Amino acid sequence: MITIGIELNHVVRDINKQIVKYYAKEFDPSIDIEEVDKSDDVLSTTCKFESKHARNNFLYIDYPYEIFGCASTVEKNLSTKITSWLSDIENIEDEDIRIVFYSLDEEALTIQSTYFFLSKIGTRVRKVFFPKSIQEIWEDCDLVITANKDVVEYANDNSLKAVLIKRKLNEGCKAELSYDNLSDVIDDEEFFNKVK
């Protein structure tokens, strides 16, 4: 069996759009939300906090539901594509492939908000987990699909498999396989042969 972990943030969930929206509401109404490059690391480029504590309060106490729960998918109809892909995977003979979702850096209210997000988009992925560290991801996964530069670099340094979803926030990051978005992974009929 091969277990493929798909990171929610920046691959499935458009968390940056929500972060900018509520940061503008709370701290800086002059921000033109439509002008912000949401594929960038908005927590360091657009949203300026006085301290890590202020940033964490914003994300994990003041707006966890709005940011983690009410976000949309990064692509239109992505949840439908994932559901069809899961069905196609079940029909692959002689292969046992399991898809799981994971999300790093979540705690307390963000976890239940993430479950709301998943119920809202209606995917049929059977397992979701919330690792506390990058190395914990590979306790459950053989391969990860992520936009997180740190996860890809950890995989590269430890001879693990990671597929990079390209975003501005991970420019300069290298992976054996990279795609522009999750739809491209799903549409690649040779994907499973490439990752073996």
Query: What pLDDT was estimated at residue 123?
Result: 87
Q: What single DSSP character describes residue 10? A: T
Task: Please report the pLDDT score of residue 154 as a whole number.
Answer: 96
Q: What is the pLDDT of residue 15?
A: 93
- Please give the full DSSP string across 80-125, using - where no structure is assigned: HHHHHHHHHHHT-TT--EEEEEE-SS--THHHHHHHHHHHHHT---
Strand partners, 2: 97
Alpha helices by DSSP H, listed for 27-77, are: 42-45, 52-56, 64
Is the pLDDT at 92 greater than 90, yes or no? no
Task: Give 124-138 pLDDT, tens digit per residue.
Answer: 999 999 999 999 999
State pTM to two decimals.
0.93
Rounded to an integer, the average pLDDT of 91-111 is: 90
> What span, in angstroms and rounded, lies between the C-alpha atoms of 143 and 34?
34
Amino acid identity, residue 167? R
Q: With bands split at pLDDT 50, 70 and 90, how would you rate the model's confidence at 45?
A: confident
The predicted structure's pLDDT at residue 93 = 76
